[in-house]
């Protein structure tokens, strides 16, 4: 993925690098992401690369691409992203062309299914507030959300429509996050297997990765709340890898 340093860089590092740092590259390759999975090494690589870019003479003409002409200082709606491995971010509306752009790629195994299996699928929950039904957690829109009643021990369950391989769940929490919760899977909706859990949730975006399972149903079971409100998710995403 390619992104501009001067706009949204902190968000990219927080949402992308932190989520995958240290995870093995899909496909069994013998290395990890960014600096061998070490945060200090990764930071140094980024700083060294930016330092190299900073030594480029100011008069150097910025190269053209499919959206912007060479030397065009301001080019609207042209931050180009080429996500690999399912890591995406909303398109940035503008760029200051002379600003250096860092390329960070996270490869996935060729042929790997990077589809969000939960989008648009049937979903149920233990409870919901009137204007925040469960369906809003799987509509693919980070501007809508599901919200439970204001109590512990709530859950939300998505039906993938058939038994699928499941190995990763991404939870985008609204301010009403879970302090402790678990991810469970099932082939029949009755017998459940716990595949991931935490007792130290802090909100934001959680990436729950686990050994691939065969499952039709995936659910988040919220045990304790992180706030006085209920549990609320902007989006619950499910992936094969």
Q: Is residue 83 part of a domain?
A: yes
Name which residue leads in pLDDT, 7 or 41: 41
Q: Are residues 79 and 141 in the same domain?
A: no
**Distance (Å, whole) CA 17 – CA 94:** 23
Q: Are residues 133 and 193 in the same domain?
A: yes
Q: Is residue 113 part of a domain?
A: no
Q: Please, is 32 exposed, middle or buried when counting C-beta atoms within 10 Å of its C-beta (0-12, 13-18, 19+)? A: middle
Q: Are residues 59 and 151 in the same domain?
A: no
Q: Are residues 96 and 156 in the same domain?
A: no
Q: Given a cut of 50, is residue 17 above it in pLDDT?
A: no
Q: Are residues 20 and 99 in the same domain?
A: yes
Q: Is residue 134 part of a domain?
A: yes
Global pTM reads 0.59
**End of a domain among 103, 135, 150?**
103
* Of the candidates 202, 204, 184, the residue with the CA atom closest to the CA atom of residue 192: 184
Q: Are residues 39 and 77 in the same domain?
A: yes
Pairing of strands 178-186, 205-225: antiparallel
Q: Position of tokens 């690999």?
A: 84
pLDDT score for 33: 57
Q: Is residue 118 part of a domain?
A: no
Two structure tokens written together for 18: 């932190």
Number of domains in the chain: 2
Q: Are residues 98 and 16 in the same domain?
A: yes
pLDDT score for 40: 81
Q: Is residue 117 part of a domain?
A: no
pLDDT score for 211: 92
Tens of pLDDT, residue by residue over 61-108, are 666 666 667 766 565 545 555 444 444 555 454 444 444 444 444 445
**Distance (Å, whole) CA 119 – CA 160:** 9
Q: Are residues 233 and 148 in the same domain?
A: yes
Q: Position of tokens 């927080």?
A: 14
Mean pLDDT of the 177-202 span: 97
Two structure tokens written together for 191: 């017998």
Domain CATH number, residue 192: 2.60.120.260
Domain hosting residue 8, numbered range: 2-103
Two structure tokens written together for 239: 């992936």
Tens of pLDDT, residue by residue over 124-177, are 999 999 999 999 999 999 999 999 999 999 999 999 999 999 999 999 999 999
φ, ψ for residue 48 (rounded to 5)?
-65, -40
Q: Is residue 108 part of a domain?
A: no
Of all helices (H) and strands (E), which one includes residue 185?
Answer: strand 178-186
Q: How far is CA 148 from CA 75, 136, 140, 143, 233, in A?
A: 43, 12, 19, 17, 9
Q: Is residue 159 part of a domain?
A: yes
**Do 185 and 197 touch, CB atoms closer than 8 A?**
no
Q: Are residues 201 and 158 in the same domain?
A: yes
Q: What percent of the chain clears pLDDT 90, i.e. is strictly above it?
A: 52
Of all helices (H) and strands (E), which one includes residue 23?
Answer: none
Mean pLDDT estimate for the chain: 77
Q: Are residues 91 and 144 in the same domain?
A: no
Q: Are residues 130 and 70 in the same domain?
A: no
* Of the candidates 71, 64, 103, the residue with the CA atom closest to the CA atom of residue 87: 103
Q: Are residues 157 and 234 in the same domain?
A: yes
Highest mean pLDDT range out of 7-11, 87-91, 106-110, 227-231? Answer: 227-231
Q: Is residue 110 part of a domain?
A: no
Provide the 3-class DSSP secondary structure of residue 42.
helix
Provide the 3-class DSSP secondary structure of residue 2.
strand
pLDDT score for 50: 79
């Amino acid at each position: 993925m390619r992104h501009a340093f001067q706009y949204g860089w902190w968000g990219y590092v927080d949402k992308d690098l932190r989520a995958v740092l240290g995870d093995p590259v899909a496909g069994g390759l013998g290395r990890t992401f960014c600096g061998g999975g070490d945060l200090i090494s990764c930071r140094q690589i980024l700083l060294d690369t930016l330092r190299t870019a900073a030594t480029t003479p100011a008069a150097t003409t910025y190269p053209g691409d499919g959206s912007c002409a060479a030397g065009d200082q301001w080019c609207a709606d042209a931050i180009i992203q080429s996500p690999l491995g399912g890591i995406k971010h909303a398109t940035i509306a503008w760029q200051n062309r002379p600003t250096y752009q860092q390329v960070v790629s996270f490869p996935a195994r060729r042929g790997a299914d990077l589809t969000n299996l939960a989008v648009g699928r049937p979903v149920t929950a233990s409870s919901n507030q009137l204007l925040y039904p469960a369906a809003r957690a799987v509509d693919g829109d980070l501007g809508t959300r599901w919200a439970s009643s204001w109590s512990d021990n709530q859950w939300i369950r998505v039906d993938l429509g058939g038994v699928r391989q499941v190995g990763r769940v991404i939870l985008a929490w609204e301010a009403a996050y879970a302090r402790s919760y678990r991810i469970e899977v099932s082939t029949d909706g009755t017998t459940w297997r716990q595949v991931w859990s935490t007792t130290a949730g802090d909100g934001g975006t959680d990436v729950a990765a686990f050994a691939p399972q065969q499952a039709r149903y995936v659910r988040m079971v919220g045990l304790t709340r992180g706030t006085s409100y209920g549990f609320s998710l902007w989006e619950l995403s499910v992936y094969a890898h």
